Amino acid sequence: MIPPSTRAALLIALLGFATLTCGDAIVKSMAGAWPGTAVSALRYTFGALGLAAIVAARHGRAGFVLPRPALQFGRGAAVAVSTICFFMGVMAMPLASATAIQFTSPIITALLAPFVLAERSPRAVWISTALAFAGVLVVLRPNLLALGPVAFYPLASAFSMSWLMMFNRKAAGDAPVMVMQFLLAAIAAPMLLAAAYLLHFSGLPQFHIAWPSAIMVAKCLAVAAFATTGHSLIYVAVLRADAASVAPMSYVQLLMAGLLGWVWFGHAPDAATLAGAALIVVGGLVLWRAQKPRAVPETPD
């Protein structure tokens, strides 16, 4: 029987992961009105400012010390690339499809960890990898035919997120959790601003940034608020229960993405998306059962 404290933690985690997907749906609603590069830059700028205020209140000047700058730069670069790719993917394809592909990031991490972190990969890693990437091919197939290479944005995001996971493992213990979140946002924000500026002048219409309306700014602020709230709820959940118990709750994002995509955008998940998502979930659960997660599962925003 699950203890009451663990049940409460699982409910908090469910709410946290669902909150993250609400932010993704808001990003989807900006498709065609503002490029993903601009949305990601403004979202992380708002996030960095908000987290700076929290860190200042909790830790004072000590919270603004930069431990191992090169490693923190790697974390910021990884999340910057992942965010741009995921936001561009969400804007180009159904929310459920992009979210399903993003869930391959823990499996990619397990696949790369032996080479980057010198960690041994159990046999389950190869099984989960085969299942997950079979699922990716199934999800991508109809989108690839309709969209072309743009459909690979979520997969690029998953690869970048896997690097963030590995950098996070190396940086574990360098600073309190909230400080680490602030450093991530503070380093990613200027990178995203620079990328948005440079791509704006590339001549490609999908990256052209018009002056944002008040609604666009409000939506970016809402995305930042949903992301900060979601990550905070997940952190509270892990304080009440171990990460291994909380990790499977992340799959509520797939359900929320399918529901919001259907209700808000009229994108009912088709058979290919459902079948591919099921393969990715099974692959993730095989990996989860084979090795206890060492940290809270990471997410695109």
Is the pLDDT reported for residue 99 higher than 80? yes
Q: What does the alpha-carbon distance between residue 252 and residue 297 come to, in Å, rounded to a whole number?
A: 13
Give the closest residue to 171 by CA, choosing from 246, 122, 117.
Answer: 117
Residue 300 lies in a domain: no
Residue 29 lies in a domain: yes
Judge whether 189 and 45 are in contact, CB under 8 Å. yes
Helix, strand, or coil here: 293?
coil
* Residue in the block written with tokens 């409000």: 218
Residue 295 lies in a domain: no
Residue 31 lies in a domain: yes
Judge whether 267 and 28 are in contact, CB under 8 Å. no
- Residue 147's pLDDT is 86
Residue 236 lies in a domain: yes
Q: What does the alpha-carbon distance between residue 53 and residue 98 come to, in Å, rounded to a whole number?
A: 32
What's the rounded mean pLDDT across residues 76-90? 95
- Counting the structural domains of the chain, the total is 1
Q: What is the mean pLDDT of the chain?
A: 89
* Residue in the block written with tokens 């979210």: 99
pTM score of the predicted model: 0.88
Is the pLDDT reported for residue 129 higher than 80? yes
Judge whether 23 and 222 are in contact, CB under 8 Å. yes
Count of CB atoms situated within 10 Å of the CB of 205: 7
What's the rounded mean pLDDT across residues 198-218? 93
What's the rounded mean pLDDT across residues 129-136? 90
Helix, strand, or coil here: 2?
coil
Q: What does the alpha-carbon distance between residue 136 and residue 154 come to, in Å, rounded to a whole number?
A: 10
Residue 297 lies in a domain: no
- Residue 237's pLDDT is 86
Kindly report, residue by residue over 37-78, the tens digit of the pLDDT.
Answer: 999 999 999 999 999 999 999 999 999 999 999 999 999 999
Give the closest residue to 154 by CA, choosing from 260, 281, 301.
Answer: 301
- Residue 10's pLDDT is 86
Q: What does the alpha-carbon distance between residue 278 and residue 173 come to, in Å, rounded to a whole number?
A: 35
Kindly report, residue by residue over 146-171, the tens digit of the pLDDT.
Answer: 888 888 999 999 999 999 989 988 88
Give the closest residue to 301 by CA, choosing from 95, 103, 43, 106.
Answer: 43
Kindly report, residue by residue over 104-116, the tens digit of the pLDDT.
Answer: 988 888 888 888 8
Give the closest residue to 159 by CA, choosing from 62, 300, 47.
Answer: 300
- Residue 123's pLDDT is 76
Judge whether 37 and 196 are in contact, CB under 8 Å. yes
- Residue 232's pLDDT is 86
- Residue 121's pLDDT is 66
Judge whether 243 and 296 are in contact, CB under 8 Å. yes
Assign 3-class secondary structure to 214-248.
HHHHHHHHHHHHHHHHHHHHHHHHHHHCCHHHHHH
- Residue 160's pLDDT is 95
Judge whether 28 and 92 are in contact, CB under 8 Å. no
DSSP state for residue 298 in the 8-state scheme: P
The residue range of the domain holding 48 is 4-290
Kindly report, residue by residue over 9-32, the tens digit of the pLDDT.
Answer: 889 989 999 999 999 999 999 999
